[in-house]
Structure 1
């Protein structure tokens, strides 16, 4: 399982993604010659940031697609507002780094935050109730306690 990382002036390197994200990012910094960058991340060729820094302890294979191509990004932090970091493509290729790519990078923070409408949907979402196993109930489901059926006759089950 590997990915291709585009960087520098039309350079590309292949990296194994069967490892932890932090190890992948350290390897990318070393091989791509960007050790002076404090933090890096990746974006796909459309400009969609992969947000690897928020998932440093997960497997890179869970977050990145096998045999996909990604653009190396440097992260410029605003000292006044560190939560509002900006992305700088570390690739010099006018075909990939075009106005559409840069616009998507610029709006990444807006896309990351859920909209007020989505927040209200989450707040009003009904929670499900998981009833623990009780005497007289038999679990016929391979999914644990999601479904329960009574042991008695159909008339007795109406009482539940």
Structure 2
């Protein structure tokens, strides 16, 4: 299970994601030559940030898709640490275009409260499909009427 990380001037490296996120980020920094530059992050090719920095103790395979391509980003924190700025470390206009940069600019810290996030918090009830029982069928399922078993014996069912 691997990913491709785009960086530099049209450079790409492959990394194994069956490891902790912290180990993956350290390996990316080392192999791509960004060891002394601080924190790094990844974004997909549309500019969607993967929030690896916030999930460093999780397995990278849980957060990143197998055989996907990601763009390397450097992370700069503001004075109060709530303002985070991402800079693409890839010099390729076909990937890092205006649409990509606009999506990077619209990123919000998931830890910071957002009115849009608060308004979306709704409790969804699990909907069930209620199918009326048909004569000769009995429901044995704990999930309602999803599964029904015939009340007839195997010999009787052959006659039908």
Q: CA deviation at 1:63?
A: 0.1
Q: Which residue does the alignment assign to 1:47?
A: 47
Q: Which runs of 5+ in 2 are unaligned?
A: 126-140, 143-160
- Say how many residue pairs are matched: 128
**Which whole-Å CA distance do the structure 2 matches of 1:110 and 1:52 have between them?**
12
**Which whole-Å CA distance do the structure 2 matches of 1:3 and 1:17 have between them?**
7
Q: Which residue does the alignment assign to 1:26?
A: 26
TM-score (norm 2): 0.72
Q: CA deviation at 1:76?
A: 1.1
Q: Which runs of 5+ in 1 are unaligned?
A: 128-139, 142-160
1:70-117: CA deviations, max 9, x gaps? 000000111x22111100000000110001000000000178866535
Q: Which residue does the alignment assign to 2:13?
A: 13
Name the Cα RMSD after superposition.
Answer: 2.5
Q: CA deviation at 1:119?
A: 1.9
TM-score (norm 1): 0.72
**Which whole-Å CA distance do the structure 2 matches of 1:69 and 1:117 have between them?**
29
Larger radius of gyration: 2
